[in-house]
Structure 1
């Protein structure tokens, strides 16, 4: 979650050198590709597609990937082209986000025949939302009454929740907007929870402040909202 010391251009150059002719595409996706990224806060997500991924090549990228990760970025996602073409059914949320918000940095991203089916999206979305709720509860227990730890938990969880909220909109046939506040408002209206705690966390992540009392209130609403999201998705099962 930091500005990379290894630039995207340098990353692409090193990926090109290591993978050679096997490199099919390097793709930037998510908020960094759509112009929504918050400097120093948002993830810089990169996907690499290759015709083959020999162990020797992956080993040769060790120093590059360590530098990328140590700068606070999520690990680069490496797949074969064949894996990309056949995995939309098991990673529908990720595929939907990549298809909607991406920028090709090198090569060509194969898109023909790539579709996200609603039933696959609902199943993964419910699973991911329940998992996030369980991790959020665990984080609440670990943070206890420490306001700083509570706020860090809130800030760290928001990006994932926005991915879930965008998936909710797509599941209902809606095109998610770029603005985070609009995404929160749409998802809360669909799932029946209060949007205000989530917009407060979005403001906190942009550099805003919360008092200890406000933090407790926001955290309570945050957990309640996630519970409502899980209940909403469960009710859609078979619908």
Structure 2
């Protein structure tokens, strides 16, 4: 049995033991399925759907699964089946990510029943972009001139931009969305005239490259403002 098979069977056994007949579906998604999963360095995104979700059962999963979940870097998202189906209009970016790259470990495929509109996607993208702009300004303020701290915070901030960029590509009807961030930046540039230099510099910094983080922020902010203006004016007919 391979390492991934052992992890998957371990997850199924743990969840069956904790939730029993309340367990409806178990789905892994994201990098684990996309082909760029790295054992002990990549997180495993896990969707667990239940018929009923009680605080007691959550506490039990945390208690009984803490060693296994921590060892394998598992990040569980636990919802009832009804909640998952009803939330697609609120979280279209996240749902599109799940639909694009997922694997059902147990039960039915919950994504087959999901419906959402590009209007909802446009709305969430604007919300996320404006939030990213505000958080970037807050990072500079919180760093108080400490460039090393700002560099570290920028590396973490990059992760949220990857999810936003995937949503931007899908908003334009592109189904073949890049999985590597560098290729994703180029896709967004082609669709939105991003001028990708600052984001490529951000990627280089995340991967260990140098650079002045304050200058980088000053270059990133107008590019975010550009994307916000484009999405704010974007008209969706479906």
Q: Give the TM interval when normalised to the shorter protein.
A: 0.7 to 0.9
Contact 1:42/1:159 (8 A) holds in 2: no
**Matched residue, 1:228:** 226
Which residue of structure 2 aligns with residue 196 of structure 1? 197
Q: Quick one: distance in 1 between partners of 2:222 and 2:37?
A: 27
For residues 42-191 of structure 1, the aligned pairs below 5 Å read 42-64=42-64, 67=67, 75-175=75-175, 176-191=177-192
- 1:71–1:193 distance in 2 versus 1, CA, 3 Å: farther
**CA offsets, 1:143-192, max 9 Å, x none?**
13222212112210112101101101111101212222121112133333
Aligned-partner Cα distance in 1 for 2:101–2:192: 24
Asked if the contact 1:27/1:48 (under 8 Å) is kept, the reply is yes
Question: For the Cα contact (< 8 Å) 2:133–2:221, is it kept in 1?
Answer: yes
Whether 1:15 aligns to 2:15 is yes
Give the CA deviation at 1:97. Answer: 0.6
Q: Report how many residues are paired.
A: 231
Change (3 A) 1:204 1:90: same
Are the counterparts in 2 of residues 49 and 79 from structure 1 also a CA contact under 8 Å? yes
Q: Which moved more, 1:87-96 or 1:216-225?
A: 216-225
Partner residue in 2 for 1:31? 31
Structure 1: distance between partners of 2:134 and 2:72? 24
Q: Distance in 1 between matches of 2:56 and 2:181?
A: 41
Say if 1:233 and 1:180 are closer, same or farther in 2 by CA, change over 3 A. Answer: same
TM-score by length of 2: 0.84
Deviation at 1:34, TM superposition (A): 0.7
Residue 40 of structure 1 and its aligned partner are, at CA, apart by 6.5
Change (3 A) 1:83 1:155: same
Tell me the CA shift for residue 65 of structure 1. 6.1
Could you say what the CA RMSD is over the residues aligned between the two structures, in angstroms?
A: 2.7
Q: Normalization by structure 1: what TM-score?
A: 0.84
Runs (5+) with no aligned partner, structure 1: 1-6
Structure 1 residues 92 and 180 mapped into 2: Cα distance closer, same or farther (>3 Å)?
Answer: same
Name the CA shift for 1:186/1:233 in 2 (closer, same or farther; >3 Å). same
Give unmatched runs, 5+ long, in structure 2: 1-6
- 1:193, 1:224 within 8 Å by CA — same for their partners in 2? no
Deviation at 1:8, TM superposition (A): 5.5
How far the C-alpha of 1:124 sits from its partner, in A, is 1.0
Could you say which residue in structure 2 is the equivalent of 1:4? none
In the other structure, the counterpart of 2:3 is none
